[in-house]
Structure 1
Amino acid sequence: DIAGPLWFFLMVITLFPLSVGPQPQLLARIAPGIIQVAALLASLLALERLFRDDLQDGSLEQLMLLPVPLPAVVLAKVLAHWAVTGLPLIMLSPLVALLLGMDVYGWKIMALTLLLGTPALGFLAAPGVALTAGLRRGGVLLGIL
């Protein structure tokens, strides 16, 4: 279940050159955008389950009853989600940068933006995930929100 977003990320990256053509200069120029969008979609794919499993087994109510403030619980859950999904995406970024022909300087900048962007996406999407936790296909609505 954890590997799903990573496989999705790799599939998007490897299939994208088929749609734009094999020109190395073009791929190297648009690679940061491709990688950012693929990371965004892979993160949204994994974010759907941030609160849903806890809601289904009743542990979300138990977390709300803890003497810890609720924002601290959400912070911990988002950081744990980032450690499980965002950090592996960042670790895969040198491989996908090499696949798309990026130079080392461009990869370092892209890795820094992924390092800042993936947790920010988690924090921005957490309220939407909480709103759609009870829905069967909440991920579709989350993409719209």
Structure 2
Amino acid sequence: MSASTTPSLVGAARALLVRDSRLLWRRRGDALQPALFALLVVVLFALGLGGEKTALSKVAAAVLWLAVLLAGLLSLDTLFRGDAEDGSLEQWMLAPVPLAWLVGVRTFMHWATTALPLLIATPFLGELLYLPHRELGVLMTSLALGTPLLSLIGAVVAALTVGMRRSGILVALLALPLYVPVLVFGAGSVAACAQGLDPTGALLLLGAGLAVALVLAPLAAAAAIRIALS
């Protein structure tokens, strides 16, 4: 049974990734919006604090975390909405693979197109904010653990509101309280490093949250999609 199931899961994931990549290429302008928004947030913070090195270096990690979080939130409402409008979600439910698997693949694509480019650009953005070099490694680790967790939480929220029209504000109101613990532990790990403390505890909590979300979030989002479309 496993021999017949594995190729179907891999094939379904490959087909969905190829489809999403083609659609993303056709809407290249829209795909760049989260990255440009994050860059704008960083620049505005730098201008608001007057470009002072001491002030910027103290808040650099928190600003970068906020920029990544808000950039992901910007595209959250469209995570499943396009598929709901063109009937693709109904096809997902009829597919011979678990709906949770397809939800997980779509969530990975969302993370790869919104958070991953910002994660790669973090060293450059950190230089703009005079982020101390000793904090960069902890910041990158916290973002690598926290951003997939944000996408998984966001997928559940997006699935809960997929049946509603004009739910952009509602998605933000539902997602932001759930994002707060991730932000606290993510930025807190860098703050602990800046104070000479061990950031391992906060990073382990992020890793544990990510491990739990990888299992439960796709299942919860798939259940929410079934309820929304029933």
- The TM-score bracket by the shorter chain reads over 0.9
- Does 1:96 pair with 2:122? no
Q: Work out which of the residue numbers 101, 107, 125 in structure 1 matches 2:136.
A: 107
Shift of 1:103: 2.3
- Does 1:36 pair with 2:36? no
Task: Show the counterpart of 2:106.
Answer: 77
Distance 2:116 2:129 in 1: 20
Structure 1 range deviating more: 51-60 or 66-75: 66-75
Shift of 1:10: 0.3
Q: Report SS of the residue matched to 2:85.
A: helix
Task: Show the counterpart of 1:128.
Answer: 157
Distance 1:20 1:92 in 2: 22
- Does 1:138 pair with 2:162? no
Q: Report SS of the residue matched to 1:125.
A: helix
State the AA in 1 paired with 2:66: V
Which runs of at least 4 in structure 1 moved beyond 6 Å after TM superposition?
none
Gaps of 5+ in 1: none
- Does 1:65 pair with 2:90? no
State the AA in 2 paired with 1:125: G
Task: Show the counterpart of 1:15.
Answer: 44
State the AA in 1 paired with 2:72: S
Shift of 1:80: 1.2
Shift of 1:39: 0.5
Larger radius of gyration: 2
Shift of 1:94: 1.0
Distance 2:126 2:78 in 1: 28
TM-score (norm 1): 0.94
TM-score (norm 2): 0.61
State the AA in 2 paired with 1:96: L
Please tell me whether the aligned partners of residues 27 and 100 of structure 1 are also in contact (alpha carbons under 8 angstroms): yes
Q: How many residues align?
A: 145
The two structures, once aligned, show a CA RMSD in angstroms of 1.2
Distance 1:131 1:141 in 2: 10
Please tell me whether the aligned partners of residues 44 and 139 of structure 1 are also in contact (alpha carbons under 8 angstroms): no
Distance 1:43 1:136 in 2: 20
Gaps of 5+ in 2: 1-29, 175-230
Shift of 1:134: 3.3
State the AA in 2 paired with 1:139: G
Task: Show the counterpart of 1:25.
Answer: 54
Please tell me whether the aligned partners of residues 76 and 171 of structure 2 are also in contact (alpha carbons under 8 angstroms): no
